[in-house]
A and B are shown apart, each in its own frame.
Chain A
Amino acid sequence: MNIVVSYDISEDKRRTKIHKVLKSYGQWVQYSVFECQLNDTQYAKLRSRLNKLIKPDTDSIRFYFMCACCFGKVERIGGEQPRDENIFFAECADG
């Protein structure tokens, strides 16, 4: 499933932690916004990890689910482009 995760965390340290966890599950597209493509298990894992980190009375995290059809219609002007997930290269930028 395609999920847009946005978060609003009051404390810097906690926000960094949450940011780090989200980086393992999706792509950072804007400040406080991630796009994730996950299956049910991965989503459950992510949610439980985030659940342990946040303070629900001051923080908030939102998961917006998008159907495959709507996800294909996302328009992007500038900023992060979706990552090519078929192949990853580890090499130095200057060769």
Chain B
Amino acid sequence: MGTVYITQEDAFIGKIDERLNVKFDKKTILDVPLIKVDGVVVLGRATISPATISELLERHIPLTFLTENGRYLGRLEPEVTKNIFVRKAQWQAAGESVQAIHVVQAFVRGKLKNYRNSLIRRQRECSDLDLSENVTRIEQAIAPIDTTQSINSLRGLEGTGSAAYFGCFNQLIRAKEFTFNSRIRRPPTDPVNSLLSFGYSLLRHDVQGAVNIVGFDPYLGYLHCDRYGRPSLALDVMEEFRPLVVDAVVLSALNKGLLTSTDFVTEPLSGAVSLTPEGRKTFLRLYAQKKQSEFKHPVIGRKCTYQEAFELQARLLAKYLMGETEKYPPLVLK
């Protein structure tokens, strides 16, 4: 199963028999069986035939639209699952309930612990790095999580921890031509930020899909407050995966020299930096490889891929909210 990325501007997405057929200039540029497709991502502009739309919905294949730079525009989502009990539990836990506080603690703990672990790992790999100060600062943010009972204070801890992490992100980049000062979004004005933003957009496509499969309403979150059109729950579940998936891909792409400064273009007026078509393809491929890479899930105790882990974490969250388990365990990897 794989995700289809339509990177060709003005492509036509149609269907023939039970296959997804993408055409450009009246020539077929992709023809894959729909049974092999688990998501379609359109980057830039494309036309989709009505028959394809209904076929994708029928087969529960989500369709996401991103701009050519990877900014999220929206998505066409198959029917929300009929499992009303999950959604009911989700709504009952809204606000500052005991369950909401527990899962927010878990999301923040998961994210920060992964940040810490990845810094410690980097430090072990490169002996000339000294990240101990940042590690200590992240640890100081982790320590009070379990005793903090207010969601707003937890958001503050998350902010402190993230600041400590991004404060030394530049040192993790071993390629000389790239530097990182601080996280800049909307639009990202340097290559590293542009990669991070693009990666998080892709991750969001996948996590929102997983959250939907399990039966949640993606727009009601706990860590992220409600905002019109913001899939807060998807963003919540995404937190623990940010360092594990996206940051890891970005760092390996830069440090292994798979992407160089020639793979980026700057828009003159806004200063927005984005990938060239060739660079985008490289990055998409690296991201897909990462998603398919296997690790042993510490809670389930068996091997799984990150792609499966998105759904697994969403299922664990559903189990907790429905009262079937005592705790929600965030995915923390050593």
Contacts and interface: CB of A to CB of B under 8 A. Distances in A.
Interface of A: 20-21, 23-26, 38, 42, 83-93, 95
Contact of A88 (B3, B27, B278, B289): B3
B85 interface: no
Contact of B34 (A24, A86, A90, A95): A24
A84 B22 CA distance: 17
A83 B142 CA distance: 45
B2 A90 contact: no
A21 B281 contact: no
Contacts of B289: 86
Nearest 5 pairs between A and B by C-beta?
A24-B18, A87-B288, A90-B22, A90-B30, A91-B8
Contact of A23 (B2, B33, B278): B33
Interface string B29-62: 1111111110000000000000000000000000
A85 B4 contact: no
A69 B13 CA distance: 36
B313 to A, nearest CB: 21
Nearest to B1: A85
B7 A89 contact: yes
Interface range, B side: 35 or more
B181 interface: no
B17 A90 contact: no
A90 to B, nearest CB: 4
A40 to B, nearest CB: 13
Contact of B19 (A24, A86, A92): A24
A90 B37 CA distance: 13
Query: For the complex, would chain A's binding face be called helix, strand, loop or mixed by DSSP majority?
Result: loop
B5 A87 contact: yes
Interface of B: 1-8, 11, 13, 16-19, 22, 24-25, 27, 29-37, 277-278, 281, 284-285, 288-289, 291-292
Contacts of A91: 7-8, 24, 29, 277, 281
Given A24-B17, A90-B6, 9 more contacts: A24-B19, A25-B35, A26-B33, A88-B5, A88-B30, A88-B36, A89-B4, A89-B5, A90-B7
B18 A87 contact: no
A83 B31 CA distance: 11
Which of A21, A23, A86: most chain B CB closer than 10 A?
Answer: A86
Contacts of B11: 90
B4 A88 contact: yes
Given A24-B19, A85-B2, A95 B29 contact: no
Contacts of A86: 2, 288-289, 291-292
Contacts of B13: 90
B33 A89 contact: no
Contacts of B29: 90-93
B211 to A, nearest CB: 22
30 contacts: A20-B16, A21-B17, A23-B17, A23-B19, A23-B31, A24-B17, A24-B18, A24-B33, A25-B33, A25-B35, A26-B33, A85-B36, A86-B288, A86-B291, A86-B292, A87-B3, A87-B5, A87-B285, A88-B3, A88-B5, A88-B37, A89-B5, A90-B4, A90-B8, A90-B13, A90-B30, A91-B277, A91-B281, A92-B27, A93-B29
